[in-house]
Structure 1
Amino acid sequence: MRLFSGEHKPTYRSKDKEPLQLAVVVSFIVIVTAILWVLAVLFL
């Protein structure tokens, strides 16, 4: 797992990190959507 190895030095200009950043953004959106869905189910 090399996710945490490159976190302390973010280089946004490197092209090698783009798929990793895309995966992080997509997983973050999925997690937030799941949390909102669970909250909606609990409170509605």
Structure 2
Amino acid sequence: MPRREVTEKEKEEIRKRVQREFPGCKALQDIHYYRYVKEIECQ
């Protein structure tokens, strides 16, 4: 199954999104950042 590349712009938007959703909790930010990147790749 071909995977889609995640652009730098999308990565920046994801980083801002997780910082907004989980302020002050770097571990949760990292987990959800990885999750959102994988969701985009598998679309």
Shorter-chain TM-score above 0.5: no
Q: Between Structure 1 and Structure 2, whose CA radius of gyration is higher?
A: 1
TM-score under structure 2 length normalisation: 0.43
